[in-house]
Structures are given as structure tokens and as C-alpha cells.
Amino acid sequence: MGFDLTPVLPELFLLVAGLVLLVVGVLTREGEAARVVATLSVLALVIGSIIIAASDKSPQLALGGHYVADGFSAFLKILLFVGAALAILLAQGFLHDRRIARFEYSLLVLFSTLGMSMMVSANSFLALYMGLELSALPLYVLAAFDRDNLRSTEAGLKYFVLGALASGMLLYGCSLVYGFAGTLSFDVLADAFGAATAERPPALLPLGAVVGLVFIIAGLAFKLAAVPFHMWTPDVYEGSPTPVTAFLATASKVAAAGLAVRVLMHPFGEWTAQWQQVVVLISIASMLLGAFAAIGQANIKRLMAYSGIGHIGYALVGVAAGSERGVYAVLVYLAIYLVMTLGTFGCILLMRRQGQYVEQISDLAGLSRQRPMAAAALGVFMFSQAGIPPLAGFFGKLLVFLAAVEAGLTWLAVLGVLSSCVAAFYYLRIVKVMYFDEAAEPFDTAVHPAVTGITAITALATLFFIVWPGPLLRAAGAAAAALVR
Amino acid sequence: MSLELFVFYVLAGVAVGAAAMVISSRNPVHSVLFLILTFFNAAGLFVLIGAEFLGMVLVVVYVGAVAVLFMFVVMMLDINFVRMREGMLQYLPVGALVGLILLVELGLVFGTWALVEDVTPAFPAPAPDQVPNTRALGQLLYTDYIYLFQAAGVILLVAIIGAITLTLRERKGVLRQDIGRQVARDRAATVELRKVKVGSGIQ
């Protein structure tokens, strides 16, 4: 194997950009540094996406087989880079208003994105773990970024402690798989656990490897914030600065979901029966908890936490299908989820009264009269998240449920539909509060153009997805085909 | 009894004894000292099985850095260790039960241990009797595992950035040495010549 670095180009570029921007941030004058580094970080992420879009999509191994670049990783990386760039743009006004604008924010997002991109390209358990840690460590710091705020530091500490526990479980699972299979490489594992060939009898999955797999799923479920590993989510989402919550809820989840799909479909692809029941259980529990626990929430960030748990449950329905159709549905779902959620957080960032960010659901009252466009955008996101046609969110759910029905999991799809009916209640309640409740105080009229722009674009994308769904569906189809060979 | 076996029992015995002292001694400083003794003996065990690199790293990292750091923490923070241990007897039965159950479960899993047939290791390691293991580790670390090695480096860099982000504060009223300013000072900015009349002071 030669030492070809071409497949790793996006990561290398992001790494070098991060290191250069660190120096730029330190050398630039204090008042300017945050803005300059943020702009350059967004630029770096955009260039990174272009590099990926232009790269060869055929599967390529690199760096001793620990790294793989294929259509699947390319699709997810572009999602991640775009999500991270939008998270940086969303944050600037907020950080400035809260007087915590420092250039480290953009850098940490950049390094975390680098870690996520390594996660979705991992081709061995070691690479998986390294990517996971690199993506998680900046997130712990970001959660506590508003360091003089008690809730923010509490969120950071909680996330850190529970994240360390999850890493421990994941590593324990990896070591069990290694102990019973003798290798960490996904390719070799897929080969060893693979289907029987002419010269070889059918492989056996040792009990220890099954136990290891369960531990790995548990570790990944923590990153996904899936039930029963979701306990940290509401507190961390509520305490973290809002743009950080947006990043946590989007890019971090997308990367973990991509990783979970790769681990389950590639090395353990022949053993769907072994992991399907675990994934189904996690999926049902997440959907139900996401639907019922969100009803009583008064804080919109906490509500988004439970809504995110529910969404991961729906995405896992597609994973549980264990087929190419399932992977395809998951990828489409994740892309739509990313856009909707970023837009929703854009709307939350638009809610300000007398210079203070408000985040109670009751604070939304009267939004429709004072800020009709913002209310309309939030309405679109809420209807879309509830899965009401013809908005984008409906198609994500439709594809996921179709994949489940095709895989013979009709009852799971039925449960999903029922729980999304329950979830529709609290999404619609927000619309009701916006349009029919009397406002107490006026909202601030001064807005940050970046936040408004992102909200408008994501709202339009959600609204008009039905008109031009081709590009996303084709890209997701190619990505799924690349993984399930 | 061969010499090797004798050395093993001495090292292992001292290691276990010292480890028991770590958790049972009343004085936290003694605990840390016993911890260092445990590390040394564990390093000796590594050397005994031919893993001299791990032995060296254990002494350098754990004794040189971690244990000394512990010592600082123990001496600088006023922690009442006696009070921390108060509930220990109370929780002991439950803790022991959980530990026992876990042990039995692990035993059941490992009882079925059998390596998957004909797996070709993806990252072959050189046989230990051909190269000294320090060189073997180096050869692997900087070739097949360069990706992970560099990734670990980036993680450490992020840890530094994170630590600085969360803790560095610009404090007012702290006197810092600024060499640039010191060098750039000239006489005119600091010294003033005044004619002082006899019998009056300087305002």
C-alpha cells in the first residue's frame, strides 16, 4: 500500500486551516480576532466541502487502512461542514451580545468538525475512537463557553462526565470485539464475519463480539442522545449557549448517526439479526420519550432536546431496517433534520426582548403580529418537524417508514406514525402560542443579518423541498449504495 | 525455583502489598508514596516479560508526572480523607455484590473465548524476538499508526486550547513582565532632570 494522501485531503486541509487560524487568532487585535477567525473558518469549511464534492467518490483506503473515503463519507462530510459553517455564522451575533465573543469559538467548532469528519471516515475501531474524542472534546468546552454563567458551566461539566462514561463503554466494547476477533479493522472484521463463500464455511459471531457490539451501540447511543442514554440532553441543551446547542443538535448527531450506520452495516452487516433488536428497542424508546416528555416542557431549548431525541428514534427506524433502502432513508432524514433544526435555532436566536435572549415557549406569544416573517418561518419548521406534508420533514419520515415496512418491520413503522401524531401536539402548540396568544412585551427589532439569512434560507429549503428533491435524493442514493456493497 | 520466578514473586508481592497500603493508610501522603512504590514494581514486572519500553514509560509518566501531581494536589488541597471514607463500610456489601456479579458475567463471556477462525491481522506486528520492542513500537507508531498518532496530537492541542479558553482571565492590577516594553524604554520617558533650588522641594 502506497502512502497516498489524496483521499485525506479534506481533513488535512481542515487541520492546517485550524492550525493557521490559531496563529491568526492570537496575532490579530483583540476586538477583531473573533470576527476574522469566524469568517476564515467558514471559508475553510466551504473550501473543504468543495474539495470533497470534487473528489473521487470510489472507495479509497488511506493511512494504513484506518481511513476510508467513499461516497457515504463524502455525503455526510458535506452535511457536517455545511452544518458547522452555519453554526459558526449563527453564533457571531449571539456571542457578541453576550460579550463572550472570542476567536476560540470558531476554532473549537472547526476542530470538532475535523473529528466528526474523521468519525464518518473511520475504517477501524481505533480511528473511530480517535475521531469521536476529537469531536467530543471541543464540544465539552463549547458547552461551557459562557464560563461566567452557572448553567453553562454546569452543562459543560455534565456533558464531560457523562461523555467520559460513554467513551469508556465504547472502548470496552471495542476491546471485547478485538479480543474475540483479533482485529480492529472494519474490512477484516467484515471479511471474518462475512457471508459464507465457496471455500469457507459460514462464519460464527462469537458471544464476546456480540457483547462488545452491544457496548459499542450503547456508547454511540449516548452520542446520538437516544433513550436510554439521553439523560444528559435536556440539561446540556438548556445550559449551553444557544448556537452551541444548535451545533450539538445537528452536526454532532449527524456524525454519530453516520458512524453508527457504518459500524452496523459494514463489519456487522451480515449479522443484522444480532443488532436489529437492540436498535429497534432504542428506536421505539426514543420515539416515545421524544413524543411524550416534550409535552410538558416550558423552555424551547429543552423542547428541542426532546424533539431531537424523537428524531433520532425515527432515524434509527431506518437503521433497524438494515438494508440499502434503510441507509438511504436515514441519510435523507439526517440531511432534512439538519436543515430544519438549524433553522429552528435561528428562530430561537431571533427572539430577543430588550437585548436579552428569551427562551420560554410562552415568550413566543404575539410573534406573528410583531415579526410575521419570523413567525411564518418557525411555523414552517414546526409543521415540518411534525411531519406534515408537503414539507420536507414529511418526506424524511415517509422514506424511513417505507424502508421499515420493506424490511418486514411494519409494526415499528406503525408505532413511529403513532408517536409522531403525539409529537405533532407540542409542535402545533408552539404555532398556536405564536399566532393566537396575546403578547406581553414587544420583541427587539434589531436583528443580526446572518441569523435572519440562515433562517430564511433554511425555511425556504424546507418549504420547497418538494419542488426540487432530486439532488438530495440522488446524492443520498449514491452514498447508500457506496456503503452497502 | 528459577531466578526469574523468584523476582516475579518479589515484585508482584510488593506491588500487591503496596497497593493495599494505598487504600488503607490513614495519611494521604503515605498513600501517594505507596502508589509510587506500586508503579515501580509494576514497571519491574513489565521489564521481566520483555516489555522494557512500557516499563520505562510507566516510571517516567506515572512516577515522574502523575504521582508527583497527586502529591501536589494532596498537599495543597485540604481534603479530609477520613471523612470521605466514613460511609465505606456501609456501602461495602452492595459494592462488593455488584463487583461480584460483574466478575461472574465477565467470566461467562470469557469462558466462551475462541478467536474467529482465519483472521489475517490487518496491521501485522513484527515478532518480538526479532526487534527490541522499543524499536518495534516506534516502527509501527510512525508508519501504520501515523494517522492515530497524529490524531492523538490534535486531541492534545484541542485540550490545551480548551483549557486556556475556559480558565485564562485577563486580570487587572497584575504586574507582568513585558520584555518588548522594557527594551523599548528610553531615557526621555523615564528620567526627568530638574533644577532644584536650595531650600525648596519638587512639586
Contact status of A138 with chain B (Cβ, < 8 Å): yes
Decide if pLDDT at A447 tops 90: no
Residue type, A223: K
Q: Do B158 and A104 touch (CB under 8 A)?
A: no
User: What is the pLDDT at residue B128?
Assistant: 58
pLDDT band at B123 (very low <50, low <70, confident <90, very high): low
Evaluated on CA atoms A37, A39, A44, A48, the torsion sign reads: positive
Region A269-298 average pLDDT = 88
Cβ-defined contact of B110 to A208 (cutoff 8 Å):
yes
CA–CA min distance A301, chain B (Å): 23
Q: CB B158 to CB A207 under 8 A?
A: no
Residue of A nearest to B111 (CA): A208
Whether B103 and chain A come into contact, CB under 8 Å, resolves to: no
A62 against A446, higher pLDDT: A62
Surface of B (159-188) touching A: CB under 8 A: 159, 161-162, 164-166
| For A141, nearest residue in chain B (alpha carbons) | B162
Q: Which of A264-278, A450-464, B78-92 has the highest mean pLDDT?
A: A450-464
Widest pairwise Cα distance in chain A = 76
Give A485 or A261, the one with higher predicted confidence.
Answer: A261
Q: Is A131 on the interface with B (CB under 8 A)?
A: yes
B120 touches chain A (CB under 8 A): yes
Q: Provide the 3-class DSSP secondary structure of residue A121.
A: coil
What percent of chain A has pLDDT above 90?
52
Predicted confidence (pLDDT) at residue B87 exceeds the cutoff of 80 = no
**B17 and B80, same domain (yes or no):** yes
Which of the four pLDDT bands, split at 50, 70 and 90, describes residue A1?
very low
Across residues B67-92, what is the average pLDDT?
76
Whether residues B1 and B74 share a domain: the answer is yes
Query: How far off is chain B from A470, nearest CA to CA, in Å?
Result: 37
* CB nearest to A208's CB, from B112, B118, B123: B112
pLDDT value at residue B114? 65
Residue B72 clears pLDDT 90, i.e. is over it: no
Tell me if B116 and A182 make a contact (CB, 8 A cut-off): yes
Give me the mean pLDDT over the A348-377 stretch. Answer: 85
Distance from CA of A188 to the nearest CA of B (A): 7
pLDDT (tens digit, 9 = 90+) per residue, A75-115?
999 999 999 999 999 998 888 888 888 899 999 999 999 99
A107–chain B Cβ distance below 8 A for any pair: yes
Interface contact B155-A130, CB threshold 8 A: yes
Domain boundaries, chain A: 268-485
Asked if residue A215 lies in contact with residue A176, where contact means CB atoms within 8 angstroms, the answer is: yes
CA distance B164 to chain A (A): 9
* B78 and B26 part of one domain: yes
Going by pLDDT thresholds of 50, 70 and 90, the confidence category of residue B177 is: confident
Average pLDDT over residues B184-199: 83
**Can you give the pLDDT at residue B124?**
56
Identify the closest residue of chain B to A112 by CA–CA distance.
B158
C-alpha grid cell, residue A78: 458535506
Q: Is the pLDDT of residue A199 over 70?
A: no
B154–A187 C-beta distance less than 8 A: no
> How many beta-carbon pairs under 8 angstroms link A with B?
113
Interface of A with B in 198-257 (CB under 8 A): 200, 203-204, 206-209, 211
Residues B3 and B81 in one domain: yes
**Chain B residue nearest residue A132, CA to CA:** B155
pLDDT of the residue at B168? 84
- pLDDT > 80? residue B80: no
A67 closest CB neighbour out of B122, B147, B152: B147
At position A64, the amino acid (one-letter code) is G
The tens digit of pLDDT for each residue in A210-251 reads 888 899 999 999 999 998 888 899 999 999 999 999 999 999
Interchain proximity B147–A63, CB inside 8 Å: yes
Nearest to A206 among B112, B155, B161 (CB): B112
- Residue by residue, DSSP assigns A415-449 as HHHHHHHHHHHHHHHHHHHHHHSPPSSPPP----H
Question: Is B162's CB within 8 Å of A140's CB?
Answer: yes
Q: How many domains does chain B have?
A: 2
Q: What is the mean pLDDT of residues A251-269?
A: 90
Q: What is the ipTM of this complex?
A: 0.90
* Strand A60-62 versus strand A356-357 pairing type: unpaired
Q: Is A192–B116 a contact, with Cβ atoms under 8 angstroms apart?
A: yes
Nearest to A63 among B117, B146, B165 (CB): B146
Report the alpha-carbon distance of residue A130 to residue B152 in Å, rounded: 7
- Reported as a pLDDT band with limits 50, 70 and 90, residue B95 is confident
Q: What is the pLDDT of residue A465?
A: 87
> Which among B113, B147, B161 is the nearest to A180, CB-wise?
B113
Whether B28 maps to a domain, the answer reads yes
Same domain, B77 and B135: no
Is residue B159 included in any domain, yes or no?
yes
- B64/B134 same-domain check: no
Q: For A105-156, what is each residue's pLDDT tens digit?
A: 999 999 999 999 999 999 999 999 999 999 999 999 999 998 888 999 999 9
| Cα–Cα dist A199/B68, whole Å | 58
Per-residue confidence band for B1, with pLDDT thresholds at 50, 70 and 90: low
- Assess whether B138 and B82 both reside in one domain: no
Where residue B75 sits, what CATH number does that domain have?
Answer: 1.20.120.1200
Residue A167 touches chain B, beta carbons under 8 Å: no
pLDDT band per the 50, 70, 90 thresholds, residue A7: confident
Instruction: Tell me whether A72 touches chain B (CB under 8 Å).
Output: no
pLDDT bucket at A51, cuts 50 / 70 / 90: very high
A65 vs A219: CA distance, rounded Å: 23
Which pLDDT does position A240 carry in this prediction? 92
B17 and B29 in contact (C-beta within 8 Å)?
A: no
Predicted model pTM: 0.87
Long-range contacts of A441-449 (CB under 8 A, 24+ apart): A441/A353, A441/A354, A442/A353, A442/A370, A443/A350, A443/A351, A443/A352, A443/A353, A443/A367, A443/A370, A443/A371, A444/A352, A444/A353, A444/A354, A444/A355, A447/A350, A448/A92, A448/A93, A448/A94, A448/A349
Task: Tell me the pLDDT of chain A averaged across its residues.
Answer: 88
Q: Write down the pLDDT at residue B199.
A: 79
Query: Of the ranges A455-464, B20-29, B116-125, which is most confident?
Result: A455-464
Whether B45 is covered by a domain: the verdict is yes
Which residues of A are less than 8 Å from B151 in CB distance? Answer: 118, 127, 130-131, 134
Instruction: Note the pLDDT of residue B27.
Output: 80
CA angle B129, B133, B134 (to 5 degrees): 150
Q: Return the residue of A nearest to B115 by Cα.
A: A180
Q: Which domain holds residue B73?
A: 1-86
Tell me what the mean pLDDT of segment A9-38 comes to: 91
Q: What is the DSSP letter of A240?
A: S
Picking from A41-45, A323-327, A383-387, B189-193, which range would have the lowest pLDDT averaged per residue?
B189-193
Closest CB from B119, B143, B154 relative to A181: B119
The three three-digit cell numbers of residue A309, written as one number: 431525541
Task: Measure Cα distances from B65 to B62, B72, B134, B159 in Å.
Answer: 6, 11, 21, 18
Scanning every residue of chain A, which has its alpha carbon at the shortest distance from the alpha carbon of B119? A192
| B137 occurs within a structural domain | yes
Q: Residue B166 and residue A65: Cβ atoms within 8 Å?
A: no
- Residues A8-17 have a mean pLDDT of 93
Helix (H, G, I), strand (E, B) or coil at A74: helix
Q: Is residue B182 part of a domain?
A: no
- 497584575: which residue's cell? B174
Looking at residue A476, its pLDDT comes to 87
Q: Is A101 on the interface with B (CB under 8 A)?
A: no
Give the chain B residue whose CA is nearest to the CA of A105: B165
**Strand boundaries in A335-444, DSSP class E:** 352-353, 356-357
Q: Which residues from chain B sit within 8 angstroms of residue A136, using beta carbons?
A: none
Q: Is A111 on the interface with B (CB under 8 A)?
A: yes
> Does residue A198 carry a pLDDT above 60?
no
B176 within some domain: no
Mean pLDDT of all residues belonging to chain B: 83
The average pLDDT across A346-374 equals 85
